[in-house]
Structure 1
Amino acid sequence: MKYEKVKLPKIIFDWLDNEIKQATMRLNVAQPFTTIAAILNEMNKKTFDSDLFWWINLPANQWKLIDALRCGYEAEPEPRWAIKAGNCYMYDSDSWTFTTILNLAIKSRCWWVEKKDALNIITSMGFGEVVDLNKEVEADD
């Protein structure tokens, strides 16, 4: 049976990577449950960012962490918002040029990290839709 790496939000990925290294060295733990327990114990002693605190305290996310320790983990891809009109993707935001070739749109780096920035372009043009480029690429595969 092949296991897939668990995709974690970037903040959790960075935090977990650091905590696992420290817990393994400091506490000599390497098993998923003891690692999670050690991390939660350390977390109760410190003040953490609220997003991190709330994410890790959800039971479903604790199972996700256990799976990450079992199968490996990687950071979720950064958001990439693109503009699509019909079957075409914008590849030049200066001239509002579109292409039907998704690969060209990706390589041109004509995408936005903030969805609102892409929405502003659509408002200016008067047409198009904002799409999650990461999902468009998955669908294209």
Structure 2
Amino acid sequence: MNLVKKNYNNFPSIIDEFLKPDWFGGLQNFQTNMPAVNIKEIDTSYSLEMAVPGKSKEDFIIEIDHNVLTVSSEVKTENEQKEENGRYTRREFSYAAFRRAFTLPETVNTENINANYENGVLCIVLPKKQEALPKPKRMIEIA
């Protein structure tokens, strides 16, 4: 299984240094949070585990196109604090998104892929095709 990696942090480090001070009551952070991934292979399947805490299963989009498995998520939030006269004293928008793509080997049975999300971990099970499963050991008699 190959991992297709993209780097979305295009800001030079000098700009990051200017954005570190707490000028307006909050730390400015423009880095994209890519979830950590564990890929495990056993005899009958591959297992892909992604650490994505604080989300619900409805936040994820899992797609397969031409043997490429794509997992993505996009969450938008808005917080506002108001004064008594109705003027905004502070209004913050937040946007968090990621997209990870994995090239699947030909041995994966793409029709029977399962996914579940529990305790902040998205687990995708990629079963192997029947012909890719290991054959049992057999004895050969000497004639």
Instruction: Indicate the TM-score class for this superposition, using the shorter chain for normalisation.
Output: under 0.3
Q: Choose between structure 1 and 2: higher helix proportion.
A: 1
